[in-house]
Amino acid sequence: MPSHDVLIIGAGLAGQRAALAAAQQGANVAVMSKVHPVRSHSVAAAGGINAAIDPTDDWRSHAYDTVKGSDYLGDQDAIEVMCSEAPEEVMHLEHIGVTFHRNDRGELDLRAFGGASMNRTAYVADITGQAILHVLYEQLLKHSGQVDRFEEWFVTGLVADDDGRCCGAVARDVRTGRIEAFSAKNVILACGGAGQAYYPTTNGLIVTGDGIALAYRLGAPLMDMEMVQYHPTTLVENGLLITEGARGEGAILLNSDGERFMERYAPNKRELASRDVVSRAEQTEILEGRGVGANKDGIYLDITQVPRKRILEALREIVNVGRDFAGVDITTEPIMIRPGQHYIMGGVKTDVDGATPIEGLYAAGEVACVSVHGGNRLGANSLLDTLIFGRRAGEHAAKRAAAMAMPTVGHSHLRDQEAMIAQILARPTGGRRVSAIKAELGATMNKHVAVYRDAEGLNTALETVKRLREEAATAHIDDRGTVFNQDVLGAIELDYMIDCAEATVVGAIERTESRGAQFRTDYPDRNDEEWIKHIELRRGDDGPDISYSDVTFTQWQPEVRTY
């Protein structure tokens, strides 16, 4: 049985960073991912990474912007950790080879980003996530001696010992269908968010909430799950992302009257207000009949303001996206966008070292909720979150491993998971197709649990999700083979997404106020008296059990939030 000090599930930025940090501490590390590491969805992060590295900047300013962006739901101790450690982390990335773009003095260039009080976003054109992900993978190849890679292995379950400590996982080799138990002193979940529970979404097809569901099933609490970010600029056509970097470089938003409407909603920051504010403004324009396009459900993003040469150098990827996916040359004409599901602020509750309340289980990146994003994440803070807390989780887990003996995973766990897969393979035909259930889930979430929410819609969503859970148990699959059986994995992923969706809806129903990304039309005001607290959800017999925890304040008291 493979045994490791630290087993990392997911190989995006958080997972790879955790692996390298744990290896640096001398731990024996494995990193496991259901796709090849460079396919991880971190690859799609475009705009950049925030850090107060300008000599005139201060990490406290970055922290304040993040606290304000979170609508005072972020834990300030965690935000301080993230922002104060950011400059060192960015320099580390630079040293291992990330090709950050430079200013004319040869120093790191910094671009403007939403919700930030000054330029503090380091970037590589508009492929920052890809550049960092590929450079971390270069480092993984360099450190092959210390880090075992299990590429294209799909985790079906986490394992806890009799005392409730996490001691490993069971996974299926996608290429052969072989299932195997992995024992580990520590498991770090780094497998991203759950965007595929929505349709449309900017997230890749692999982003199915695996880690959130795995932790939830092991008894870990989920936190802030109601906070779902809608990105202001996603293609009307198919939900693909247009980076916030476009607005950072000077692009503007226009309604059907040709009005730069953000001047009304955020007179100071305009297009560069935080994402929840811009998305809400766009949605309001659309709802009030000032949308563009045949269905009046879009907004124009006009990038032609930015000089052509600068676009080709710094926004090359969205030139391609415009051309290939919307038939628009963004250097000469505006492109139709609208708010679309992009990120979940919530996730598995962790402390600032990535540790969850379950001993031996860590989480970092979008799967986790530290909580540094609170009610709304600032653009270019997600890459930072993955790297800072990925590193801290890796280091902490490695240190914990040094002081303990290797656990073993009982064979019964392996047999349970084998039986689970055999049961899916043996399903009779005639059930609803996995794809149909997933499509209904996505449409339901996007209709009722989106930018604007109310009790009626949320309750409808909850009923639908519960029905879909029953249907998923007998969902039809075609593939009965072992090699690359994506059908079986799709059925398991569907269950993961349903767990995540249910938690999101339950959290949204519970929070009877409007804060950050949660806007309740039936409770339109922020209610600091009652709702400066996190909602935590633990798996119960009939859906999630609800509890609350305090938000940590250090130096910033809640203020009225304007941009």
Partner 1 sequence: MAEFTLRLRRFDPESGEGAYWEQHTVQLEEHHSVLEGILQAKAHTDGSIGIRCSCRAAICGSCGVRINGEPGLACNTHLDHAREASIQAGSDGVIVVEPMGNMPVIKDLIVDMDAVHWKKIRRVTPWLINRQPVPEREYIVERESMVDVTQTMACIQCGACVSDCLSMEVDPGFIGPAALAKAYRFVGDPRDDQHFERLNDLADDPLGIYDCTHCFKCVQACPKEVNPMGQIMRLRRLAGSDHDIEDPNNGRRHEQAFTTLVRGYGLLHEAELLPRSYGGDSWFGKFHPAAGKELLASLPVVLKGLIRGKVNPKTAAFGHKLPKPALDAVRAIFDRVEGKGHSTRAERHELNLYVTGYDEDEPDGHAHEGAAPTPGRQGDQQ
> Which residues in 92-131 contact partner 1 (CB under 8 A)?
94-97, 99-109, 124-125, 127, 130-131
- Please report how close the Cβ of residue 172 comes to partner 1 at its closest, in angstroms: 15
Ranges within 459-478 binding partner 1 (CB under 8 A)? 477-478
Q: How far is CA 458 from CA 333, 437, 470, 518, 525, in A?
A: 38, 18, 19, 12, 18
Among 3, 219, 260, 325, binds partner 1 (CB under 8 A): 325
What would the two tokens of residue 125 be? 């054109």
Nearer to partner 1, 286 or 361 (CB): 286
Q: 74-93 mask for partner 1 (x: CB under 8 A)?
A: -----------------x--
* By the rule CB under 8 A, 326 interacts with partner 1: yes
111, 172, 275, 539: which one is catalytic? 275
Nearer to partner 1, 142 or 411 (CB): 142
Nearer to partner 1, 329 or 559 (CB): 329
Instruction: Name residue, tokens 């950049």.
Output: 48
Ranges within 218-277 binding partner 1 (CB under 8 A)? 236-238, 240-241
Among 19, 187, 246, 321, binds partner 1 (CB under 8 A): 321
- Please report how close the Cβ of residue 109 comes to partner 1 at its closest, in angstroms: 8
- Please report how close the Cβ of residue 294 comes to partner 1 at its closest, in angstroms: 4
Nearer to partner 1, 37 or 69 (CB): 37
CA dist., res. 498 & res. 306, Å (int):
42
> Residues of 390-426 as b/e, b for ≥16 C-beta within 10 angstroms?
bbbbbbbbbbbbeeeeebebbeebbeebeebbeebbe
Q: Contact, 209 vs 341, CB < 8 A? A: no
- Please report how close the Cβ of residue 213 comes to partner 1 at its closest, in angstroms: 18
- Please report how close the Cβ of residue 131 comes to partner 1 at its closest, in angstroms: 5
CA dist., res. 490 & res. 265, Å (int):
42
Based on the residue annotation, tell me whether 275 is a catalytic residue of this protein. yes
Strand 543-550, strand 533-540: pairing = antiparallel
Among 17, 41, 349, 526, binds partner 1 (CB under 8 A): 41
Nearer to partner 1, 227 or 301 (CB): 301
Number of residues that bind partner 1 (CB under 8 A): 84
Give the count of beta carbons closer than 10 Å to the beta carbon of residue 546.
14
Alpha helices in 171-302 (DSSP H): 210-217, 245-248, 262-265, 275-287
Ranges within 422-441 binding partner 1 (CB under 8 A)? 433-436
Nearer to partner 1, 80 or 317 (CB): 317
Angle, helices 486-510/455-472, rounded to nearest 10 degrees: 150
Closest by alpha carbon to 115, among 481, 305, 377?
377
* By the rule CB under 8 A, 139 interacts with partner 1: yes
Q: What is the DSSP string of 26-89?
A: T--EEEEESS-GGGSGGGG--S-EE---STT--HHHHHHHHHHHTTT-S-HHHHHHHHHHHHHH
Cα angle: 440, vertex 443, 449; to 5 degrees: 120
Q: How far is CA 488 from CA 121, 181, 215, 327, 485, in A?
A: 41, 19, 21, 36, 6
Ranges within 491-530 binding partner 1 (CB under 8 A)? none
Nearer to partner 1, 352 or 491 (CB): 491
Ranges within 180-219 binding partner 1 (CB under 8 A)? 204-206
Among 57, 85, 244, 487, binds partner 1 (CB under 8 A): 487
- Contact window for partner 1 (CB under 8 A) among 15-23, 30-38, 347-355, 402-410: 30-38
| 534 φ/ψ angles, rounded to the nearest 5 degrees | -85, 145
What are the residues facing 343 on neighbouring strands? 229
What are the residues facing 102 on neighbouring strands? 108
* By the rule CB under 8 A, 481 interacts with partner 1: yes
Nearer to partner 1, 34 or 68 (CB): 34
CA dist., res. 393 & res. 351, Å (int):
10
The set of catalytic residues is 275
